[in-house]
Structure 1
Amino acid sequence: MSAEKARSDGSADGHAPMSLRERKKQLTYQAVSDAAIALFLRRGFDKVSVAEVAAAADISKPTLFRYFPAKEDLALHRFADHEDEAARVVAARPAGTTPLAALRAHFLDGLARRDPITGLCDAPEVLAYHALLYGTPALVARLHAYLSRSEDALARALGGRAPDRLAAGQIIAVQRILASENWRRINAGATADALYGEAVEAAEGGFAQLRSGLEGP
């Protein structure tokens, strides 16, 4: 959800440039997801049918299901680009930088940019989307599958061994909790600017605990 839009050429963050066909496919994903989210925000997730989303996106229902196997995926497409984000950060880190140091720097940069994935964003449209997500049990349940795939991707980037899977689970969990706490406090009325210092402090504390447990003294 950093930009919450498909990349224009797929070349950022270590991805190879996309073909024209692939770019068109990504734009279709984005357009259908945006149409669905607009309906979900207006009427509620459970009150909108897949057929209505297909009609709003001007595609057939079978075509919609070729892009999105489940209704929940229409709303969670904004997370799809973040599934392997931690893995990409680790893979692209500078020589001599530990995976954890790279992930810490990336998360702190996200806080500074008010990246929605960090929870520290009070833009009205982001708050509305988060309220939809965390207020809909079916979406919360589906989100766990996305987090599981994030752990798998990060574990592979770390080396793919059993200890790497444990480390990946801990890292993804800490980032999720930090983001959830930021969103909870903003949802309660705090502004992103007012909360920034505390969010940085919490992130530093979280990564310090990870460093102590994963890298030792």
Structure 2
Amino acid sequence: MGYLICGKCKSYYELQSGESVKDFARECKCGGKLRYVENMDIVDPGWKPTIIPRKSTRAEILRKQLKSISSLPRDLKYRLSGFWNRLRYRFQNAQNWNNTQGTHGNYYDYGMNPLNSLRNELNLRNIRWVLVIPVIAVITLILTFTPGILTLLTFILLAALGYTFNNQILGIKNALIAGAISFFLGSLFTGSFLLLIPFTILGAINGAVCGWIGGYLKKIISQRSL
């Protein structure tokens, strides 16, 4: 079965039945690199056995990300909740305008219909694809080929995308689109077909949150520069 050895802390781990080198991290708990050997003939008898942490499965990574999202700061939760309530309020107003159109005349001609502002937020015409597409490409490559600590770079990219917009709502929407598409493609290219929908939803949530953070940072910096 073989052994995983660490020359830094002088320890080893004997692989058990059914275990593979691919199931474990590349680094020991001490920070040293692990090396696979078939037998212990080349190892000093004074080395001590240890426990090597296994790699997190994609399901575990997804649960951790969902848990981190559920533990958002209270102020951020209130802001997201307020945004959702305002969106619902606009939908309700739009329905009321449609119901009163026949009795009070046509308000659409005067540009007073709340659906106009709602369409501006939901359509894709104000998506800045020249920025969104490169972000999608980079995040997809990270999720496909370099899982691990580099996945944190995806949050930085999404926040940076939101930071590039003067309008915070547009920044959130562009980051949301980029997050959803890139997480969908990353899950697709890695063969995680059962997680396509959850990862897409997770990407959209990450994009919205990071886009909001980027827009909020730009707002704070702009206020301080005045």
More helix by share: 1
**Which structure has the bigger radius of gyration?**
2
- TM, length-normalised to structure 1: 0.33
- TM, length-normalised to structure 2: 0.32
More strand by share: 2
Higher relative contact order, chain-length normalized (CA < 8 Å, sep 6+): 1
